[in-house]
Amino acid sequence: MLCHTSTLPTLKLLPKLGCANTGKHFRSIIQINCRSMAGSATSVTGKKLIRIDVSSDSVCPWCFVGKRNLDKAISSSKDQFDFQIKWHPFLLNPSAPKEGVNKRDFFREKFKSRSEQIIARMTDVFRGLGLEYNIDGLTGSTLDSHRLIYYAGQQGDDKQHDLVEELFLGYFTKAKYIGDREFLVESARKVGIEGAAEFLDDPNNGLKEVKEELNKYSSDISGVPYFVINDEQKLSGGQPPEAFLQAFQLAAQ
């Protein structure tokens, strides 16, 4: 039996934007469901455990915005909760070329007359996070980044979370190409992931697992970021920290 928004405290939130694989930005939704009212699990520290599953693509700017805001919410809630965060793949452009294409040209082709407006909007949003949005460089297939993110998760959720941050920083602020092996390996090294180069050398490593996660976590959604908190609270788009804080409280009931 599901309990819907009308039976739970209302989240007072404004729509936020995300990325959709239709080539359009989308308005986010917030869905508050609960499978039971038995409460959340408790971690070994005695705090309630908040489990967060995030569907994301490495070239989605709103996924980076959402991650930064999620991190802020977590930082201010660590005295109340313990957190377990797992990142899952989403492909905004499954047919994107592995060799990469010019990012500005891709934006013009994808967004047409709206491309400059979207770039200006993202520049402002990133500036609000203390970051400089960089539209230079290449964009292309994110499959290898998702294979690496999966691999990082085998060495710990924290390392996976840190790797996602490094990949976002490189791609969005330093004009790094998300499909570049050297960039991927260096990002893994920075966060203490061992064996990344050898793992990436075999294109089949992690491929089965990424496909399985795509089917499990991304088959029913059309855009990212998409957050599922304790299997109950569902948020999409670049939500502000306050949205996550409210979702944590509801998930802990």
Tens-digit pLDDT profile for residues 74-100: 999 999 999 999 999 999 999 999 999
Crossing angle of helices 115-128 and 103-111, rounded to 10°: 120
pLDDT of residue 161: 99
Q: What is the residue whose two structure tokens read 């957050």?
A: 227
Whether residue 38 has pLDDT greater than 50: no
Q: Give the lowest-confidence range in 31-40, 47-56, 120-129, 174-183.
A: 31-40
The letter for the amino acid at 223 is G
Distances (CA, A) of 106 to 60, 140, 180, 224, 233: 14, 9, 17, 19, 34
Domain parsing of the chain, residue ranges: 5-251
Whether residue 26 has pLDDT greater than 60: no
Residues belonging to the chain: 253
CA distance 90 to 210: 9
Q: Residue-wise over 27-36: b if at least 16 C-beta within 10 A, else e?
A: ebebebebee
Whether residue 197 has pLDDT greater than 80: yes
User: Above pLDDT 70, what percent of the chain?
Assistant: 83
pLDDT of residue 3: 25
CA distance 233 to 125: 25
DSSP 96-163: --TT-EEHHHHHHHHHGGGHHHHHHHHHHHHHHTT------SEE---HHHHHHHHHHHHT-HHHHHHH
Q: Number of helices and strands (H, E) in the chain? A: 9, 10
Q: What is the residue whose two structure tokens read 């959604």?
A: 221
Q: Give the lowest-confidence range in 2-6, 23-27, 98-102, 112-116.
A: 2-6
Query: Considering the entire predicted model, what is its pTM?
Result: 0.86
As beta bridge partners, residue 123 has none
Helix (H) or strand (E) holding 242: helix 241-251
Burial class (CB in 10 A: 0-12, 13-18, 19+), 157: middle
CA distance 57 to 143: 9
- Residue 219 vs residue 14, higher pLDDT: 219
Dig out the tokens for 88 from the structure.
Answer: 């899952």
Whether residue 12 has pLDDT greater than 60: no
Whether residue 150 has pLDDT greater than 90: yes
pLDDT of residue 165: 99
CA distance 52 to 148: 19
Confidence bin at 2 (pLDDT 50/70/90): very low
**Nearest-CA neighbor of 188 among 210, 158, 166?**
166
pLDDT digits (tens, 9 = 90+) for 161-193: 999 999 999 999 999 999 999 999 999 999 999
Domain 5-251: what homologous superfamily? Glutaredoxin (3.40.30.10)
pLDDT of residue 39: 47
- Residue 35 vs residue 181, higher pLDDT: 181
Dig out the tokens for 210 from the structure.
Answer: 């990424």
Average pLDDT of the chain, as a whole number:
88
